[in-house]
Structure 1
Amino acid sequence: MSTKHTSQANQSFNEACNGIKRLIQQAKFSQAIALCHQQLAGDLTNDNRVEILYFLVVAQRLNGDLGEAIESNKTLLEANTKHARAWQENGYLYLAAGKPQQAAQSFYQATQLNPALLASWRALVPLYQQQENTKAVTISQAQIDYLSGLPNAVLGAKDLMYEGNLHAADKVCRQFLQANKHHSEAMLLLAEIGIQLKVYGEAEFILSSCLALYPEHKTAGIVYLQLLAKMAKFSEAKALADTLLAASSDNVVLLSAKASAMVGLGEVQEAISIYQGLLQHNQNQPGIQLLLGHALKALGDLPGAISAYQQAYRYKAEFGDAYWSLANTKTYRFSDSELASMEQLVTQQSIGLDDRVHLHFALGKSLEDRGSFDAAFSHYAQGNQLKQQQINYNPEVFERQVAKQIDTCQAELFARLKEAGEQRADPIFIVGLPRAGSTLLEQILASHSQVDGTMELHDILGLASKLQGQKNQYPQVLTDLEGSYFARFGQKYLQDTQVYRAGAPFFIDKMPNNFLHIGLIKLILPNAKIIDARRDPMACCFSGFKQLFGDGQEFSYGLEDIGRYYRAYEKLMAHWDTVLPGFVLKVQHETLIDDLHGQVQRILDFCGLEFEQQCIDFHKTERAIKTPSSEQVRQPIYRSGMEQWKHFDTHLSPLKKVLNQPK
């Protein structure tokens, strides 16, 4: 369809929506219903169809056609499980049907998806009063008081944000702040919108300004802590938590945030002590149980981690992340009763989207372990499909990023700036795709006496993000910067990563996504070493597809998407080999497994390190490991995972097609 025709279709649809809304406002419900059906009979996009279905449900309910409204709303929720106002309509329909328990569940689900839905909070208060649930009444009333006290523009922007209309929310919020420059809630909201838009640098500045103006604003402090953790600024997060705890020493959220930052800094045992202290007062804190499990797993205490994860789901039966965390140990095997519980939970309409996603991935792993590969793939596919609804990944965006790197980072750029960067050779970068064997390489190198193991450091990604904000944008800006900048960037990187080191001459920066920024690394740290963790394309891509990542890796939730990402990665790595010959060492995972001694010697030679036997005995090295492969690298080398994808061969045609593999 041409741009002109698309514009005309959009205009026609918008006019129809406005007409339906006017009819509903005028209480002409039958006419509104007829116009909805007329629209639904046409060729609509899924989003437009969802919008018309919502109008239809409202009109049918107000017209007293409860049976039809229930069916229409069921269709709506099947099309979009995250539609907060559809859940609100569910609440009204259950109320009309005399089912207060189901009504309360629906209104609650609406508020979880869109906490700015004042009508749902107000509907919940009398329902919770009937249930004599005083705690829930208090929480609901507090939210009503808070939302009612917001200026209309801020409340409207909040609603837009929760509905996913981020750019519209950003515009409304900025317009309000122009007239009300230092309004605390508007500043906080603008930062929250920025976080969702992934404009982290601006969000950080807004939150720090908000706290400078309103140091006792607890919500701003907590959101700032969450952002610092997301940016992996753990040292800053710990310092901020300590500052906020000075005024509220027993605040559970602040204490757990401090502990999470300490895990990020490698102070894992101290973090575990904080979590255990919080649980001494109240075991019924599933979120804390989960965080304790993560910390114990990082430390290598797998039985303790398993116990904590099990406690988490015992206190919160539908806690999908607890089940997934058990599956994500890669060694845990679910009992028949646990499997039955997960299968029953995932069918419940009241289960939230995040829990449902986690449950599908956990079920996939459990059924794969039992050899039920078709059923396992069904759950992996459903989990990935639901995850895609949350992220809206577009593979063309990444492919354009790769093209820009290739266009910008040519040999003459590196020749011109070969002396510009910081000359120290401390860092060893490990890059590649997730699930390609990077954690194994990290464990091998971290076993060497001259090398500090750290964790997945975000510093290069952070620098690239800051450069992206430049007028000329990244990576194009690299050709225009004065040479002195590159040494300063390299020195800043070494300074900021010092907190993760333990005194060895070299340290590892294992962030797989850094392969996109090898040109930047060469310019700021020309003597650094880079190792590319490479794995068979089918094995690597399918392993990523069945992995639910904590954050990022949006490309991994579709077989075609992950295949396109892999091809773009291969193309870029070939470019780096051409313009920076010898700068990157490719280590093939399958070759490493077949010839451990020879490949370890090759890696150490590349890094300028003497051979040490403990690099071969890497599984005996005790250190905190936070990645999904933590338990695998605490075992001797094994081959069992190399061809697991072949059990799912019949389901992988979309991936094979992109990778040009035989069908």
Structure 2
Amino acid sequence: MDNTSQPSIESQLKSIQKLIQTTKFENAIQQSKQLLAQSENSQDNIELWYLIAVAQRYAKTLTLALNSINELLNIDSKHSRANQEKGFIYLAMKEPKLAKQSFEVAVKLNPSLVASWQALIHLYRDDKQQADVQKAANHLEGLKKLPPALLAVTEFMHEGKLLKAEQLCRHFLQNNQRHIDGMCMLAEIGIELKIYDDAEFLLASALELQPSHIHARSLYLNLLIRLGKYKTAVQQVETLLEAQPDNLSFKIAKASALTGLGEIEAAIELFEQVVAENDQVPGFHLQLGHALKTKGEIDNAILSYQKAYQLSPTYGDAYWSLANTKTYRFSDNEIAQMQTQQHSEDLALIDRIQLHFATGKAFEDRKDYDQAFNSYQKGNELQHAHSGFDITKIEQQVAQQIKYCTRELFQLRGKLGLNAPDPIFIVGLPRAGSTLLEQILASHRQVDGTMELHNILGLASRLRGRSKSQGDEEAQYPKNLATITPDYFKRFGQQFIDETQVFRDKAPLFIDKMPNNFLHIGLIKLILPNAKIIDARRSPMACCFSGFKQLFAEGQDFSYNLEDIGRYYQAYLKLMSHWEDVLPGFVLTVNHEDVVNDLETQVRRMLNFIGLEFEQSCVDFHKTKRNIKTPSSEQVRQPIYKSAVEQWRNFEPHLGPLKKVLEID
């Protein structure tokens, strides 16, 4: 039979909805079950089980309705409307306690479900839970103030349908251009989709229109911290604290921004003040632990992380933060607790992921490599599925850089940028030894270490833009490097120097160790022709597997799949070879294995490349006192050790997919 003659699943679902609306419940159930028998699509099955359950509830076959909604929840336990429907079924079955539990799950998953909040108000009132009645009523009042279109946007957002939410929100704002809540929602969607420049512009514009809007300024503050714009973040949080001086969340945000600025003492003092005011919030202890770790107070950091999981045994970030010190060893009890928590039904996805990675580290330390790999693999699979990463997009970016960043481009435009010699960029893959190289160079009196700065990535993002001309699959950048007004290159270079000044101390040179900048070496050459670039390179298997074991804060989504990470490494090699071809001598490659085997030779080689005199302090780098924010912070506070070079071999039986991509026998 020709499938094209069949009505679409959407039209059939609408037809069933119409049957329910016209009280033809049996017909609706029958049609849904027929479709269910033919369907292999889990999303369609979810919709069909939902319609069956609703029709059965209306038909007063309540036990059948409960069975149907449980079938749906077996497919997707986090389906907010299914939990809401379960609440209504229990209400009809005269089971108010179970109904209340279901509605509470529903609004936790999706706080915009008006019907659930209305039901909860009645249930709380019946149980004389006055505080909960008030809380639910306040939330419901806030939802009812929203225009219907924005209420629908919030529902789509909480259901993870971000593109639908964005489309609807943009349409609403076309007719309501100065609607602050609408602007905030579109910014939140942009942040989720990692379109940070759009979100930043929207929130800055919203605050120009309404400077007293606390929610808009709070969103703006959190985005600035995420983007590493800590100086502006401090200005914003000061404004918020003037309005709400006792708001602990704002104090925590200020301390985070101060940490970013390197003002660790002030940050720790503020974190400790907040913990003294309320020591029952696990996240406060976690943040304090991060600041203490950055300063090098590892024992105190560990106590803070332990306090966080003691307050909340399911708090994955606390366990992962302990593992991420790289030196902590978990006890038998802690491992048992992590394994128990992994099986908790209510566990949030991020907690589950963090627990798997932490358990992997615990088993690796005990040389139980099969168990360790199993845990790492589970964490990576969950994170990979969640991120939706597509390696072909990176490969396309590399192809575009090779196509447009030609020798001719640099001959014509290579001297237009700012001649400042200040920046030293350390690029490559994460876990390739860049923190070690930074610590070595930052031990020199003429060099400031900073952190992984987002400025070059932000500039590349702005140059790339979002729109693509019809029929053209290429982004504007790097193609537009050949056509940008010549004055802009010097301006961009000056902007980089100005914006990064806040991270520097008094040395004439400073380091930006954002590894992903290897994609933008052509852009760096055009805006800062006298910059120095060091490629921190590590042997493929060691580098890739070290990345696979690491759960990154954000920005390294390629690392959660062995094939992806191998393809990324190959793309990196291909692009670095191109840069050497079109910009000979502009990049110095430093192999991690060479640093481990002959430290002083590589130190002299790097200092010679940068144009600095040799200083013994660079060889004695582990004695240098400075704040370090990356996962390797404790490792680079110790002398070089060689044990990590071949650690991947312990996992070799599991690494076939990686070896295949890397073409290693």
Is the shorter-chain TM-score for this pair beyond 0.5, marking a shared fold?
yes
> Retained in 2: the 8 A contact 1:54–1:73?
yes
> Retained in 2: the 8 A contact 1:109–1:350?
no
Q: In structure 1, the residue corresponding to 2:257 is in which secondary structure?
A: helix
**Against the structure 1 CA distance between its residues 581 and 162, is the aligned structure 2 distance closer, same or farther, given a 3 Å change threshold?**
same
Deviation at 1:83, TM superposition (A): 3.1
Deviation at 1:378, TM superposition (A): 2.3
TM-score with structure 1 length normalisation?
0.93
- Find the aligned partners of 2:5 and 2:317 in 1 and give their Cα distance: 42
- Find the aligned partners of 2:133 and 2:610 in 1 and give their Cα distance: 62
> Retained in 2: the 8 A contact 1:109–1:352?
no
- Find the aligned partners of 1:102 and 1:556 in 2 and give their Cα distance: 42
- Find the aligned partners of 2:331 and 2:5 in 1 and give their Cα distance: 54
More deviation, 408-417/322-331: 322-331
1:191 to 187, 190, 209: 187
Deviation at 1:8, TM superposition (A): 5.4
Question: What residue is the counterpart of 1:499 in the other structure?
Answer: 502
- Find the aligned partners of 2:14 and 2:134 in 1 and give their Cα distance: 38
1:421 partnered with 2:417:
yes
1:577 to 572, 575, 580: 580
Q: In structure 2, the residue corresponding to 1:453 is in which secondary structure?
A: strand
> Retained in 1: the 8 A contact 2:218–2:240?
no
Q: In structure 1, the residue corresponding to 2:645 is in which secondary structure?
A: coil
Amino acid at match of 2:219: V
**Against the structure 1 CA distance between its residues 16 and 282, is the aligned structure 2 distance closer, same or farther, given a 3 Å change threshold?**
same
Deviation at 1:143, TM superposition (A): 1.6
> Retained in 2: the 8 A contact 1:56–1:72?
yes
- Find the aligned partners of 1:66 and 1:384 in 2 and give their Cα distance: 41
- Find the aligned partners of 1:508 and 1:226 in 2 and give their Cα distance: 25
1:594 to 570, 593, 597: 597
2:339 to 331, 337, 343: 343
1:173 partnered with 2:176:
no
**Against the structure 1 CA distance between its residues 296 and 353, is the aligned structure 2 distance closer, same or farther, given a 3 Å change threshold?**
same
Amino acid at match of 1:572: L
More deviation, 599-608/451-460: 599-608
**Against the structure 1 CA distance between its residues 48 and 192, is the aligned structure 2 distance closer, same or farther, given a 3 Å change threshold?**
same
**Against the structure 1 CA distance between its residues 618 and 47, is the aligned structure 2 distance closer, same or farther, given a 3 Å change threshold?**
farther
Q: In structure 2, the residue corresponding to 1:429 is in which secondary structure?
A: strand
User: Superposition pairs for residues 324-335 of structure 1, below 5 Å?
Assistant: 324-335=320-331
Question: What residue is the counterpart of 2:309 in the other structure?
Answer: 313
- Count matched residues: 658
More deviation, 389-398/645-654: 645-654
> Retained in 2: the 8 A contact 1:470–1:477?
no
More deviation, 234-243/63-72: 63-72
- Find the aligned partners of 2:364 and 2:102 in 1 and give their Cα distance: 34
- Find the aligned partners of 2:6 and 2:250 in 1 and give their Cα distance: 47
Deviation at 1:474, TM superposition (A): 1.0
> Retained in 1: the 8 A contact 2:296–2:634?
yes
- Find the aligned partners of 1:502 and 1:159 in 2 and give their Cα distance: 47
1:297 partnered with 2:293:
yes
User: Superposition pairs for residues 108-507 of structure 1, below 5 Å?
Assistant: 108-126=104-122, 136-469=132-465, 473-507=476-510
Deviation at 1:437, TM superposition (A): 1.0
**Against the structure 1 CA distance between its residues 238 and 595, is the aligned structure 2 distance closer, same or farther, given a 3 Å change threshold?**
same
Deviation at 1:457, TM superposition (A): 0.5
More deviation, 96-105/617-626: 96-105
More deviation, 464-473/324-333: 464-473
Deviation at 1:78, TM superposition (A): 5.3
Deviation at 1:212, TM superposition (A): 2.1
Deviation at 1:386, TM superposition (A): 2.0
1:510 partnered with 2:513:
yes
Question: What residue is the counterpart of 1:532 in the other structure?
Answer: 535
More deviation, 162-171/91-100: 91-100
More deviation, 41-50/388-397: 41-50
TM-score with structure 2 length normalisation?
0.93
Q: In structure 1, the residue corresponding to 2:427 is in which secondary structure?
A: strand
More deviation, 408-417/320-329: 320-329
Deviation at 1:299, TM superposition (A): 0.6
Amino acid at match of 2:544: C
Question: What residue is the counterpart of 1:649 in the other structure?
Answer: 652
Deviation at 1:17, TM superposition (A): 2.3
**Against the structure 1 CA distance between its residues 67 and 449, is the aligned structure 2 distance closer, same or farther, given a 3 Å change threshold?**
farther
Deviation at 1:205, TM superposition (A): 1.7
Deviation at 1:440, TM superposition (A): 0.8
Deviation at 1:308, TM superposition (A): 0.8
- Find the aligned partners of 2:143 and 2:317 in 1 and give their Cα distance: 30
Aligned Cα RMSD in Å?
A: 2.5
1:558 to 561, 567, 575: 561
Which deviations, in whole Å up to 9, do the C-alpha atoms of 1:83-128 show, x marking residues without a partner? 3333434545666677766655554443343222223333444555
1:610 partnered with 2:606:
no
Which deviations, in whole Å up to 9, do the C-alpha atoms of 1:197-218 show, x marking residues without a partner? 2222221121112122222221
More deviation, 76-85/167-176: 76-85
Question: What residue is the counterpart of 1:635 in the other structure?
Answer: 638
Amino acid at match of 2:463: L
**Against the structure 1 CA distance between its residues 28 and 615, is the aligned structure 2 distance closer, same or farther, given a 3 Å change threshold?**
farther
Amino acid at match of 2:180: S
- Find the aligned partners of 2:461 and 2:21 in 1 and give their Cα distance: 46
Question: What residue is the counterpart of 1:21 in the other structure?
Answer: 17
Amino acid at match of 1:601: R
Question: What residue is the counterpart of 2:470 in the other structure?
Answer: none
Amino acid at match of 2:205: S
Amino acid at match of 1:179: N
Amino acid at match of 2:555: G
Amino acid at match of 2:639: P
More deviation, 596-605/653-662: 653-662
Structure 1 alignment gaps of length 5 or more: none
Q: In structure 2, the residue corresponding to 1:454 is in which secondary structure?
A: strand
Q: Structure 1 vs Structure 2: percent identity of aligned residues?
A: 54
**Against the structure 1 CA distance between its residues 115 and 653, is the aligned structure 2 distance closer, same or farther, given a 3 Å change threshold?**
farther
Question: What residue is the counterpart of 1:567 in the other structure?
Answer: 570
Question: What residue is the counterpart of 1:548 in the other structure?
Answer: 551
Which deviations, in whole Å up to 9, do the C-alpha atoms of 1:324-368 show, x marking residues without a partner? 111111111222222222211111111122222222222222222
- Find the aligned partners of 1:73 and 1:250 in 2 and give their Cα distance: 44
- Find the aligned partners of 1:50 and 1:6 in 2 and give their Cα distance: 26
- Find the aligned partners of 1:501 and 1:98 in 2 and give their Cα distance: 66
- Find the aligned partners of 1:375 and 1:490 in 2 and give their Cα distance: 49
**Against the structure 1 CA distance between its residues 192 and 311, is the aligned structure 2 distance closer, same or farther, given a 3 Å change threshold?**
same
**Against the structure 1 CA distance between its residues 587 and 306, is the aligned structure 2 distance closer, same or farther, given a 3 Å change threshold?**
same
Deviation at 1:6, TM superposition (A): 13
- Find the aligned partners of 1:330 and 1:276 in 2 and give their Cα distance: 24
**Against the structure 1 CA distance between its residues 297 and 78, is the aligned structure 2 distance closer, same or farther, given a 3 Å change threshold?**
farther
Which deviations, in whole Å up to 9, do the C-alpha atoms of 1:372-426 show, x marking residues without a partner? 3222222222222222332211111111111111111011000111211111111
Amino acid at match of 1:606: F
Which deviations, in whole Å up to 9, do the C-alpha atoms of 1:43-102 show, x marking residues without a partner? 644444444444445445555566665665555455445433334345456666777666
**Against the structure 1 CA distance between its residues 560 and 74, is the aligned structure 2 distance closer, same or farther, given a 3 Å change threshold?**
farther
**Against the structure 1 CA distance between its residues 318 and 150, is the aligned structure 2 distance closer, same or farther, given a 3 Å change threshold?**
same
